[in-house]
Amino acid sequence: PRYCPSIEDKVVKFADKERHQVFLEPEGRYTNEMYVGGMSSSLPEDVQLAMYRTVPGLENCRIVRNAYAIEYDCIDARQLYPTLEFKDVEGLFSAGQFNGSSGYEEAASQGILAGINAGLKCQGREPMIIDRSEGYLGVLVDDLVTKENTEPYRMMTSRSEYRLLLRQDNADLRLRRKGYEAGLISEEQMQWLEQKEQMITQEMDRLKKTVIGASAEHQKFLEKMGSTPLKTAASLAELMCRPELSYEMLAEIDQNRKLLPAEVIEQVEIEIKYEGYIERQKRQVDQYKKMEKHKIPNWMDYDEVPSLRLEARQKLKAFRPVSVGQASRISGVSPADISVLLVYLEHESHMRDLKKE
């Protein structure tokens, strides 16, 4: 595994290094046990003890639990739908490191999604699919079921194209509605979310519509805050876009502000300060969603699609993507192949509709 190599691996791979950093991490508040970070190992017990006692301060240490190495096998996650159900075994859902991922959070998040979808399937309801624009779990699952992974998959934020939208501060705004629709969120929690959304929208509208002039009072305020004086009237939202000004600072010249929860203020400030960047990313998401909504029907036979390159035909048959968007992310399927696929799907769908009539 790339992300947690043993000390003996490090010695071999980084033989040119003369030092290695070690962290002593307390195991808990009420214990004197320490975890030796950076020295995971699969060496024999006596060798481990001798090695740890070379660390300054650990000359007389005792080992409570020895370090150990693990090895695990995994499936090819391309056998799975984005719901984490096996394509060839209906009703069987798969999650965790077994799917080729690495890390506790990655495993736990897949378990949540697979469990939710297993429950929804038992109830005969629509599955929950989190796409790449809705959460890091969506990126994780899409990468696992679409791409060929040659090593354990770790969820890096850099793997997402929409990082401006996938922030921890707006997780409830992005995902709680999905949880409610699946029966996981209470009515009270959902009502609070709707109130919060309403408060954010109303406050953003108010700040955009509240205009202040270049009066002496306002100029004095801006000078005190180290901000450029006004030449013409400006809205409070425009002033908030200045890096040196914040929502709280503007309270001094904002006569009509209401008392709002801190989490609402946080969203208002982020959405206004970064509005241009966020809107641009939302437009990218709209284009992505158009491709995701274009589903590939079960009757699709890629051998029947004329002008489709051989490599693309083989990859599409092996992956069996559920949407044109997913097909476009398969390595070896080019934009030209996607264009051919779209034309074929439109023609075939039209011909099938005519037959039904």
98 pLDDT more than 90: yes
pLDDT attached to residue 319? 85
If asked whether residues 102 and 131 sit together in one domain, one would say yes
pTM: 0.79
Pairing of strands 34-37, 23-26: antiparallel
Domain limit, last residue, from 223, 252, 273: 273
Average pLDDT over residues 320-335: 88
Average pLDDT over residues 325-345: 88
pLDDT attached to residue 339? 87
* Core vs surface per residue 149-182: b (16+ CB within 10 A) or e: beebbbbeeeebebebbbeeebebbbbbebbbeb
pLDDT attached to residue 192? 97
Distance CA 332, CA 69 (A): 36
The enclosing domain of 313 has a CATH number of 1.10.150.570
Whether the CA torsion 127, 132, 138, 141 is positive or negative: it is: positive
Kindly indicate the confidence band of residue 91, based on its pLDDT and cuts at 50, 70 and 90: very high
Domain limit, last residue, from 224, 252, 273: 273
Domain annotation covers residue 179: no
- Lowest-confidence region among 62-66, 69-73, 99-103, 219-223: 69-73
Domain annotation covers residue 176: no
For residue 194, what are the domain limits?
187-273
Residue 65: in which H helix or E strand, if any? none
Domain annotation covers residue 170: no
Kindly indicate the confidence band of residue 39, based on its pLDDT and cuts at 50, 70 and 90: confident
If asked whether residues 97 and 48 sit together in one domain, one would say no
Kindly indicate the confidence band of residue 118, based on its pLDDT and cuts at 50, 70 and 90: very high
The enclosing domain of 15 has a CATH number of 2.40.30.260
If asked whether residues 7 and 29 sit together in one domain, one would say yes
Please choose, from the candidates 264, 281, 155, the residue with its C-alpha nearest in 3D space to the C-alpha of residue 201: 264
Distance CA 98, CA 152 (A): 10
Average pLDDT over residues 220-245: 93
Distance CA 46, CA 194 (A): 60
Backbone angles phi, psi at 98, to 5 degrees: -55, -25
If asked whether residues 81 and 66 sit together in one domain, one would say no
Average pLDDT over residues 106-134: 96
Kindly indicate the confidence band of residue 1, based on its pLDDT and cuts at 50, 70 and 90: low
If asked whether residues 92 and 67 sit together in one domain, one would say no
The enclosing domain of 211 has a CATH number of 1.10.10.1800
Domain annotation covers residue 174: no
pLDDT attached to residue 38? 87
- Hey, what amino acid is at 263? E
Domain annotation covers residue 300: yes
Average pLDDT over residues 294-321: 89
Q: How many CB atoms lie within 10 A of CB 116?
A: 21
If asked whether residues 66 and 2 sit together in one domain, one would say yes
Distance CA 328, CA 337 (A): 9
> How many domains, the chain?
4
Residue 78 is classified by DSSP as G
pLDDT attached to residue 71? 78
Burial class (CB in 10 A: 0-12, 13-18, 19+), 339: exposed
If asked whether residues 57 and 122 sit together in one domain, one would say no
pLDDT attached to residue 354? 80
357 pLDDT more than 90: no
Backbone angles phi, psi at 234, to 5 degrees: -145, 150
- Lowest-confidence region among 167-176, 273-282, 317-326: 317-326
Q: Dig out the tokens for 114 from the structure.
A: 């697979």
Q: Are 88 and 140 in contact (CB under 8 A)?
A: no
If asked whether residues 218 and 201 sit together in one domain, one would say yes
Please choose, from the candidates 114, 160, 112, the residue with its C-alpha nearest in 3D space to the C-alpha of residue 140: 160
Domain annotation covers residue 235: yes
Q: Are 80 and 61 in contact (CB under 8 A)?
A: no
Domain annotation covers residue 178: no
